[in-house]
């Protein structure tokens, strides 16, 4: 019916809980499609981390820790890098989100973007540390900083999109009413 | 556009336990990846083979857009670039003539010296259908795979120099690890001086030169080529130039991996060395010109005949009975002597004439 949200439609209600994880997997696949519009100058954003952060904050029942692990594993698989680096980074970011949920949820406007930047910094820092130990040398910091900036910029339209999905398709937790 | 406008949900499941379990699983995965780096290779090759048609479809419009955008800036510099290109063309023609003369001279010298010819190089031309630029990874995807005889470890070059190496092949696609990638380490030689070094990528635009020799002095502008050590890569492929960045010597690469669209995959066709079969002439003794010793004649041992040891009475009778004298033994001297217990002579024995 017009104006009726997906989570209120009886036949389609079961799809709502699958959306956050599905969007994270789709985002990972899109980000790892090896097409660069900048000739490889700018790195691809971590589209998989954005739903993990967003729904890990708002609906941890729909984005549990194992979902963050699987999304990270998908990122490892499609990116071509050493296995496990992004899986452990996404889980580390989820731990940060879980510990700071009250602080991060209270952020509004630009603060929301800064919250994501903090979670992204945890993920990137973990990946940096793992890569340094993995190859036993320090990788350059400049590509990581550029990747952080690219991801923060892309989070702005992604946040708008995820808000729409949350309002119209996913909805709040039933027991919160 | 704020997280605070949405109702916050509390995780009612056993979050700390599942979080700890996931963290442990992630660490195990990292360790497993360290032990088995090719864990995901088959899945990646399968994914790139399936995505190859879509990548090829998107490549052409992207390439056209890239060329169009690049041409926009060139419109303002057409006259100046034209003059520069004419000057470069004239200089290059002079170098071309000199290079041809030097090549002929080199061929004559090789013939005179009976030099071992360079190994044959096969090549496959491929198009770049994808690029992946990550903070810790720099790869390309080519539209040639096992069906086109591409194998892991082969060098990838463009018209300017070496770009990288194949590290994963599917049926129709291959993944290239660029020289700038953190995982890339190749043996190189710095000319002049034939200084051996390792070109180690660190995800920067200029890979690091690791020199193991002591007392080596490098200068900016020296040429870097592949050394061919280990017979993994062909020797003599152009890589770049040496420059000093203030703390280390690095390589300014000739190839531009961000804009190369058509590349060649080089197959170093070195046949596997076969061990020669060993012959008698390979023995150290014969190699020194000495005749081998003749083996000593075999000793004939006579078995001791004992009556008590006979197995049966007939055997004992045979053993105790005197041997039938032969014709040669029928002499007075032989007849006077009691016959000794001797085994009957063999048919081919010639009796001694006494």
What does DSSP assign to residue B260? -
A65 with B134: Cβ contact below 8 A: no
- What pLDDT does residue A116 have? 93
Chain B interface includes A149 (CB < 8 A): no
How would residue A174 be classed by pLDDT, with cut points 50, 70 and 90?
Answer: low
Which has more confidence, B97 or B38? B97
Q: Which of A100-114, B19-33, B70-84, B154-168 shows the lowest per-residue confidence on average (mean pLDDT)?
A: B70-84
Structural tokens at position B38: 């090719």
Distance CA B285, CA B280 (A): 9
Q: Give the residue on A whose Cα is nearest the Cα of B43.
A: A77
Nearest to A79 among B5, B132, B258 (CB): B132
Distance CA A36, CA B129 (A): 10
| Chain mean pLDDT for chain A | 84
Among the listed residues B226, B233, B240, the one whose alpha carbon sits nearest the alpha carbon of residue B196: B226
Indicate the SS3 state at residue B15: helix
Indicate the SS3 state at residue A168: helix
pTM of the model: 0.68
Among the listed residues B313, B327, B314, B321, the one whose alpha carbon sits nearest the alpha carbon of residue B340: B321
- Determine the length of chain B: 354
Q: Which residues from B are below 8 Å from A69, CB to CB? A: 22, 25-26
Asked whether the beta carbons of B154 and B144 are under 8 A apart, the reply is no
Indicate the SS3 state at residue B276: coil
B133 with A44: Cβ contact below 8 A: yes
A135 with B182: Cβ contact below 8 A: yes
Q: What is the DSSP string of A12-43?
A: GGGGGGGHHHHHHHHHHHHHTSS--TTTTSSP
How would residue A24 be classed by pLDDT, with cut points 50, 70 and 90?
Answer: very high
What does DSSP assign to residue B255? S
Q: What is the largest CA-CA distance in chain A?
A: 59
Q: Give the residue on B whose Cα is nearest the Cα of A138.
A: B202
List all residues 6 or more positions away from A30 whose beta carbon is below 8 Å from its beta carbon: A47
- Look at domain B42-268 and name its CATH class: mainly beta
| ipTM summary value | 0.81
Q: Phi, psi at residue B164, to the nearest 5°?
A: 180, -160
Q: Which residues from A are below 8 Å from B168, CB to CB? A: 80
- What pLDDT does residue B334 have? 43
B18 with A64: Cβ contact below 8 A: yes
Domain boundaries, chain A: 14-32+43-167
Q: Give the residue on B whose Cα is nearest the Cα of A89.
A: B26
Residue carrying structure tokens 């009957």? B344
* Adjacent-strand bridge partners of B252: B241
Instruction: Determine which of A65, A111, A130, A173 to mutate to test the interface with B (most B C-beta atoms within 10 Å).
Output: A65
């Amino acid at each position: 019916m017009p104006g009726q949200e997906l989570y209120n439609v009886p036949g389609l209600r079961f799809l709502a809980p699958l959306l956050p994880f599905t969007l994270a997997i789709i985002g990972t696949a899109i980000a790892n499609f090896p097409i660069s519009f900048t000739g490889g100058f700018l790195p691809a954003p971590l589209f998989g981390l954005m739903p993990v952060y967003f729904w890990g904050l708002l609906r941890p029942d729909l984005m549990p820790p194992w979902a963050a692990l699987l999304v990270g594993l998908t990122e490892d698989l499609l990116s071509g890098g050493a296995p496990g680096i992004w899986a452990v980074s996404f889980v580390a970011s989820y731990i940060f989100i879980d510990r700071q949920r009250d602080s991060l949820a209270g952020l509004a406007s630009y603060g929301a973007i800064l919250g994501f930047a903090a979670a992204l910094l945890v993920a990137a820092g973990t990946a940096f540390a793992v890569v340094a130990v993995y190859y036993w040398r320090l990788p350059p910091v400049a590509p990581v900083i550029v990747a952080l900036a690219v991801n923060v910029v892309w989070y702005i339209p992604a946040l708008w999109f995820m808000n729409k999905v949350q309002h119209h398709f996913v909805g709040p937790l039933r027991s919160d009413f | 556009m704020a997280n605070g406008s949405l109702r916050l949900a509390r995780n009612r499941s056993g979050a700390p336990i599942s979080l700890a379990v996931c963290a442990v699983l992630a660490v195990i995965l990292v360790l497993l990846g360290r032990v088995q780096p090719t864990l995901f290779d088959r899945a990646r090759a399968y994914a790139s083979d399936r995505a190859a048609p879509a990548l090829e479809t998107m490549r052409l419009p992207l390439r056209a857009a890239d060329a169009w955008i690049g041409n926009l800036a060139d419109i303002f510099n057409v006259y100046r670039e034209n003059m520069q290109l004419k000057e470069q063309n004239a200089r290059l023609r002079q170098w071309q003539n000199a290079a041809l003369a030097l090549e002929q001279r080199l061929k004559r010298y090789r013939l005179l010296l009976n030099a071992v010819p360079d190994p044959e190089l096969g090549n496959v031309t491929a198009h770049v259908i994808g690029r992946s630029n990550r903070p810790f990874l720099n790869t390309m995807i080519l539209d040639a795979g096992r069906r086109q005889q591409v194998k892991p470890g082969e060098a990838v070059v463009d018209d300017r120099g070496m770009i990288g190496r194949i590290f994963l092949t599917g049926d129709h696609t291959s993944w290239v690890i660029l020289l700038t990638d953190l995982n890339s380490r190749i043996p190189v030689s710095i000319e002049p001086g034939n200084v051996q070094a390792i070109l180690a990528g660190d995800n920067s635009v200029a890979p690091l030169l690791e020199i193991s020799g002591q007392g080596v002095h490098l200068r900016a502008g020296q040429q870097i080529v592949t050394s061919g050590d280990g017979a993994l890569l062909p020797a003599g492929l152009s890589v770049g130039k040496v420059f000093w960045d203030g703390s280390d010597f690095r390589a300014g690469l000739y190839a531009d991996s961000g804009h190369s669209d058509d590349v060649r995959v080089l197959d170093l066709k070195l046949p596997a060395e076969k061990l020669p079969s060993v012959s008698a002439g390979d023995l150290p003794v014969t190699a020194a010109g000495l005749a081998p010793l003749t083996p000593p004649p075999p000793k004939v041992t006579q078995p001791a005949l004992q009556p008590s040891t006979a197995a049966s009475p007939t055997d004992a009778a045979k053993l105790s009975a005197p041997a039938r004298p032969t014709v040669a033994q029928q002499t007075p001297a032989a007849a006077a002597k009691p016959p000794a217990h001797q085994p009957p002579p063999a048919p081919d024995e010639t009796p001694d004439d006494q």
